[in-house]
């Protein structure tokens, strides 16, 4: 798609009041593929004012009509499935097959779930002599990351629309073209002017202005824990609602009774998907001492099948990471792991063979990792698997729960009840049991420093509602 030179505000594309721009770079070949405006605080203010002006009308719109607009939005996105996939591949570097199956199809499905929820949710309930009203929070400031650019937008915008909120979206500067494509779909869906607004810009300028704006009632942010803490502090000082979906260092716990081959192969695939740029990736593989060496061999063999390649090629399973900074960060962590005594059994910090151009990282597996190592505690956000040894179930639980994060995880066992019993003891917001499928209606979000609030399904809708009790 061709980049818009303006921002989508109050139902129209309009230029920024400033002259600064952001270059969009293809991470596979380092070529500039588009230029978008960098919003100023004044642009953000214009967008928030438009959202505020549109709020009374949209919040009073019957839920069935809101559902119809979200259905139209889903259909507009579905009609652009291939364009979405190609755009995500161009600006993120995700392999085209993965871009179709996950970056396009998942958000289309999520939009559909919110069309249904908007139509069926009980916005009123009776409790004793009270009628409790579930009303929209107001103007939402949504700040989204680059790693799943369309999914993260839909996971905020669709429930906000369903609730009757109006929105100003500030997408990540690395992937603004996907956000512009989404704005085009919103326009095609005849969502009223001002209900959805898009400002492209830098986090410290546009993101900060949005989080601080006195007329924003809720800030929904997905990104790093460090930035999330800043936004939480800003929102707290203004006594405004905040939803934060932050980092993770999720454990993949393989119990002694599990099918080791399946658990290891699935675990490696989970981390290497999207070049490891997934906040919920199971980056710590925990294996019992008796089967540890076998697991390491299996993981190294699985990693060998992930050859970094051109994401435009349908056979490529592993593309580049998003930018040079991210590439250098991931390689730095790989070097740090070796320095702290971990053993590289696949990959390493060097550029992949034949991939000197582009932001490529070798898919890496570490053995002999101990819980206190940096690579076992900090979120790397790249294709790096760390394999840790445990002595018994209590030791596995201690290691699994032994980070500041608690976003996701996995448990594998020969018996499902055994796996569920272990999962109940994990301090994390989501656990996959024996490879259980992702459920777009289940709440997604973290414990501890992985965040505040939930996305997806009815729990995600509830984030954008506030209650009013009428005593009768």
Would you please indicate which residues are annotated as catalytic (active-site) residues? Answer: 245, 279
Query: Residue 256, Cβ neighbours under 10 Å: how many?
Result: 17
Angle at CA of residue 91, ends 89 and 96, nearest 5°: 0
> What is the Cα 269 distance to its own chain's centre?
18
Under a CB-based contact definition with an 8 Å cutoff, are residues 352 and 325 in contact? no
Q: Which residue has the tokens 């076992």?
A: 376
What's the alpha-carbon Rg for the chain, to the nearest Å?
Answer: 22
Cβ atoms < 10 Å from Cβ of 337: 24
Structure token digits, residue 461: 């809708």
Contacts of 30 (CB under 8 A, 6+ apart): 357, 358, 359
Give the C-alpha separation, 39 to 15, whole Å: 9
What DSSP element (H or E) covers 335? helix 324-339
- ∠ CA 285-288-292, nearest 5°, is 75
Give the tokens for residue 446.
Answer: 């973290």
Tokens encoding 232: 């939480």
DSSP result, 17-83: SS--EEEEE-TTT--EEEEEE---HHHHHHHHHHHHHHHHHHHTS-HHHHHHHHHHHHHHHHHTHHH
With the C-alpha atoms ordered 380, 382, 387, 390, is the resulting torsion angle positive or negative? positive
Phi, psi of 382 (to 5 degrees): -155, 180
Compute the distance between CA of residue 120 and CA of residue 141 in angstroms, rounded to an integer. 25
Distance CA 141, CA 154 (A): 14
What is the C-alpha to C-alpha distance for residues 406 and 384, in angstroms, rounded to an integer? 19
The tokens for 141 are 């400031």
Residues 410, 428: Cα–Cα separation, whole Å = 10
Cα torsion 147, 148, 153, 155: sign? negative
Please check whether residue 369 is in contact with residue 341, taking contact to mean a CB–CB distance below 8 angstroms: no
Distances (CA, A) of 301 to 142, 268, 270, 296, 459: 41, 10, 15, 9, 40
């Amino acid at each position: 798609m061709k980049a818009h030179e303006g921002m989508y505000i109050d139902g129209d594309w309009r230029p920024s009041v400033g002259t600064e721009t952001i270059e969009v770079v293809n991470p596979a070949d380092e070529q500039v593929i588009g230029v978008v405006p960098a919003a100023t605080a004044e642009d953000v203010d214009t967008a928030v004012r438009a959202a505020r002006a549109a709020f009374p009308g949209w919040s009073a719109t019957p839920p069935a009509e809101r559902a119809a607009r979200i259905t139209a939005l889903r259909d507009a996105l579905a009609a652009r499935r291939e364009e979405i996939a190609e755009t995500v591949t161009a600006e993120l570097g995700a392999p085209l097959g993965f871009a179709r199956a996950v970056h396009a199809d998942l958000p289309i499905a999520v939009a559909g779930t919110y069309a249904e929820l908007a139509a069926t949710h009980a916005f009123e309930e009776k409790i004793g002599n009270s009628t409790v009203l579930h009303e929209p929070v107001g103007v939402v400031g949504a700040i989204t990351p680059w790693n799943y650019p369309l999914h993260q937008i839909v996971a905020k915008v669709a429930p906000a629309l369903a609730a009757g909120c109006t929105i100003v979206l500030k997408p990540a500067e690395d992937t603004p073209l996907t956000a512009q494509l989404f704005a085009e779909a919103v326009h095609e869906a005849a969502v009223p002017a001002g209900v959805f607004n898009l400002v492209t810009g830098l986090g410290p300028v546009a993101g900060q202005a949005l989080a601080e704006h006195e007329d924003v009632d809720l800030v929904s942010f997905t990104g790093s824990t460090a930035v999330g803490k800043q936004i939480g502090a800003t929102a707290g000082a203004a006594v405004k609602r905040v939803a934060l979906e932050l980092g993770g260092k999720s454990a993949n716990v393989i119990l002694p009774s599990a099918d080791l081959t399946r658990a290891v192969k699935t675990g490696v695939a989970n981390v290497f998907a999207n070049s490891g740029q997934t906040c919920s990736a199971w980056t710590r593989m925990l294996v019992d001492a008796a089967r540890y060496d076998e697991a390491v061999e299996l993981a190294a063999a699985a990693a060998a099948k992930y050859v970094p390649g051109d994401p435009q090629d349908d056979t490529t399973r592993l593309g580049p990471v998003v930018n040079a900074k991210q590439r250098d960060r991931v390689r730095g962590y790989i070097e740090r792991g070796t320095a702290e005594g971990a053993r590289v059994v696949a990959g390493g910090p060097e550029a992949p063979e034949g991939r000197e151009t582009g932001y490529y990282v070798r898919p890496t597996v570490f053995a002999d990792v101990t819980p206190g190592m940096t690579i076992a505690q900090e979120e790397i956000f790249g294709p790096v698997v760390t394999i840790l040894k445990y002595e018994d179930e209590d030791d596995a639980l201690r290691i699994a729960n032994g980070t500041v994060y608690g976003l996701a995880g996995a448990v594998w066992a020969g018996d499902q009840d055994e796996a569920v019993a272990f999962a109940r003891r994990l301090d994390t917001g989501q656990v996959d049991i024996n490879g259980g499928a992702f459920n777009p209606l289940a709440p997604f979000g973290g414990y501890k420093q992985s965040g505040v609030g939930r996305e997806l399904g009815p729990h995600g809708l509830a984030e954008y509602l506030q209650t009013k009790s009428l005593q009768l």
